[in-house]
Amino acid sequence: MLSYSRRFLAAAALAVLTLPVAACTSDKPAPSASGAPAGAPAGSAAPADKGTGEQSKFFVQADYDAQMAMRKAQPTGPSDKPWEQTIDPQLVDTAEYKKAGPYHLCFSNAAVDNPWRQVGWKTMQAEVALHKEITKFTALDAEGKDDKQISDIAELTGKGCDALIVSPNTTATLTPAVSGACPKVPVIVFDRGVQTDCPVTFIKPIGGYAFGAAAAEFLVDKVPAGGKILALRILPGVDVLETRWSAAKVAFDKSDLQVVGVEFTDGDAAKTKSVVSDYIQRYGKIDGVWMDAGATAVAAVEAFEDAGQPVPPINGEDQQDFLKKWSDAKLTAIAPTYPTYQWRTPVIAALKVLKGEQVPKVWNLPQPAITQENLATYLKPGMPPLHYALCGCEDLPGYPEKWGGTS
């Protein structure tokens, strides 16, 4: 009995091995001109033990330094339209892509499975609607599946798009698909990058290091020396989140604060609240909370309230529920952002490319942090609790109803 099954396994294996030889057509492009793999991780010798653990293998010193510099740099472009601003641009010529309208834009979206992407996606659709010269906009949602996004990109390149916008689900795994699309259509990548420089432009806010550093520096500033810090992270292994933590680690290692715990919350509010409650119980008092994303910040704040303790300095993100809590409970807080207005930029960039205008090779968008001073401007009553304040969508048609708010 076993021998038969083994025979079939062998047959299957043979099929696997021989088929590629017989293949005669390939949808996969020639090897991309230059793979731009992540630079070697800079070994950072941890000074004293601050409870922050090993530095992430995602940490790249050069990128870190670049982002730290960008935080201080002055963006160029209209200051009331941060999504059109850019920091330190190195412009590239796009004349080769110039063509007359009307245009058919295509978009391969990684997913719309969280509020950040929801807000961004609505913003992008509204941006598209602003431009009469875009007569057709085809978007495919990969539902968080790398494999589907690879197929989606392949499908879109065959649909006669004039430009292809890609928001990759993961960096490494989408690289072959994007480099496959580049020769056929101008590609614009945003949010996460890919490991090839074939896209015409790559749009991103300053980045994760800037986010993590902003929050950590705030805590270093506000929490008295020796204070106990609890760091809450969503998941390990997600590049954009790893960079946030690794920058925070650098800041904490240099400080005189003690990080008593680094916990993963899966982005689950109940789990966040439980973790924070456990720490309050165990240490009696926590002097500061650092978070790599704001989605569960309110739950963390509530854990202190429920324990009958004052809320220590904390960071969140630009979601309305946190901003409201901040304002109502008069927190000592900061909200670094990863602005959703970046979803407007790819459309603008695509049109620039198609009109032959220059665009930055890497389009760094400013990445403001919400502080006590400007909190009021970002607090928008009537918007849903999980709405992101930095959507840059207030001037778009359909606001606020389209984003779930009431005027």
Partner 1 sequence: MRRALPIFVVLAGLLVAIAVVNPYFLEPPAFLAFVKRAAPLVILAAGQYFVIVSGEFDLSVGSLVTAEVVIAARLIDGSAEATWPVLALMIAFGLIVGLVNGVVTTLLRVPSFITTLGMLLILSGAVFLWTGGSPRGALSEQFRQLGRGSLGPVPWSVLILAVVAAAAVWATRARFGHTLVAAGDNDRAAALSGVRVARVRTVAFMISGLSAAVAAILLGGFAGVSAQVGKGLEFQAITAVVLGGVALGGGRGSVAAAMAGAFTLEALFTLLNLYGISGALEPAVQGVIIIAAVALGAVRFPRARAAAAS
Partner 2 sequence: MTQQLKLGRVPAGGALLRRISADRPARPVYVALALLVVLGWLVFALDGGTFLGQENIVGIQQRSAALGIVAVGQTLVILAGSLDLSVAYLISLTSLVTAEIMAGADANVPAAVAAALAVSALIGLANGLIVTRLRVHAFIATLGVALVVRGALDARYDGPAGSVPESFQHLGYDRIGPLPVSALLWAAVAACAWLLLSRTRLGYRIYAVGGDAEVARLSGVRTERVVVVAHVLCSVCAGIAGLLLASRLGAGAPTVGTDGGYDLESIAAVVLGGTALAGGRGGVAGTVGGVLLLAVLDSIFNQLEVNSFAKDVVRGVILVAALAIYARGRRTR
Residue among 88 and 268 whose Cβ is closer to partner 1:
268
Position 386 contacts partner 1 (CB under 8 A): yes
- Of 46, 111, 269, 307, the residue at the interface with partner 2 (CB under 8 A) is 111
The candidate with the shortest Cα–Cα distance to 161, out of 182, 137, 183, is 137
Q: Judged by CB under 8 A, how many residues of this single chain contact partner 1? A: 32
Position 281 contacts partner 2 (CB under 8 A): no
- Of 105, 214, 232, 299, the residue at the interface with partner 1 (CB under 8 A) is 299
100, interface contact from partner 2, partner 1, none, CB < 5-8 Å by kind? none
Measured CA to CA, the distance from residue 260 to residue 87 in angstroms comes to: 36
Residue among 84 and 292 whose Cβ is closer to partner 1:
292
The pair phi, psi for residue 106, each rounded to 5°, is -125, 150
CA 378 from chain centre, in angstroms, equals 20
Sign, Cα dihedral of 168, 173, 174, 178: positive
- Of 263, 329, 332, 361, the residue at the interface with partner 1 (CB under 8 A) is 263
Residue among 3 and 281 whose Cβ is closer to partner 1:
281
Question: β-strands 228-233, 258-264: how paired?
Answer: parallel
Cβ at position 71, least distance to partner 2 in Å: 25
Residue among 50 and 273 whose Cβ is closer to partner 1:
273
DSSP state, residue 294: S
Which residue type sits at 133? E
Measured CA to CA, the distance from residue 183 to residue 155 in angstroms comes to: 15
- Dihedral class, residue 82 (left if φ above 0, else alpha if ψ from -120 to 50, else beta): alpha
- Of 99, 159, 184, 285, the residue at the interface with partner 2 (CB under 8 A) is 159
Choose the stretch contacting partner 2; rule: CB under 8 A; options: 26-34, 80-88, 199-207, 364-372.
Answer: 26-34
Position 144 contacts partner 1 (CB under 8 A): no
384, interface contact from partner 1, partner 2, none, CB < 5-8 Å by kind? partner 1
Cβ at position 107, least distance to partner 2 in Å: 10
Residue among 44 and 173 whose Cβ is closer to partner 2:
173
Position 281 contacts partner 1 (CB under 8 A): yes
Report the SS3 class of residue 70.
Answer: helix
Transcribe 184-196 into DSSP letters.
Answer: TS-EEEESS--SB
Choose the stretch contacting partner 2; rule: CB under 8 A; options: 143-151, 198-206, 208-216, 294-302.
Answer: 143-151
Measured CA to CA, the distance from residue 123 to residue 399 in angstroms comes to: 10
- Sorted by sequence, the CB contacts under 8 Å of residue 95 that are 6+ apart come out as 356
Q: Rg of the chain over CA atoms, in angstroms?
A: 23
C-alpha dist (Å) from residue 278 to 136, 146, 205: 53, 37, 35
Which residue type sits at 207? G
Cβ at position 125, least distance to partner 1 in Å: 12
Report the SS3 class of residue 265.
Answer: coil
Which residue type sits at 8? F
Structure tokens at 403: 């984003």
197, interface contact from partner 1, partner 2, none, CB < 5-8 Å by kind? none
Q: Hey, which residues between 303 and 342 contact partner 1 (CB under 8 A)? A: 306, 321
272, interface contact from partner 1, partner 2, none, CB < 5-8 Å by kind? partner 1
Cβ at position 6, least distance to partner 1 in Å: 28
Contacts with partner 1, residue ranges (CB under 8 A):
112, 114-115, 118-119, 121-122, 236, 263-264, 267-270, 272-274, 277-278, 281-282, 295-296, 298-299, 302, 306, 321, 384-386, 404
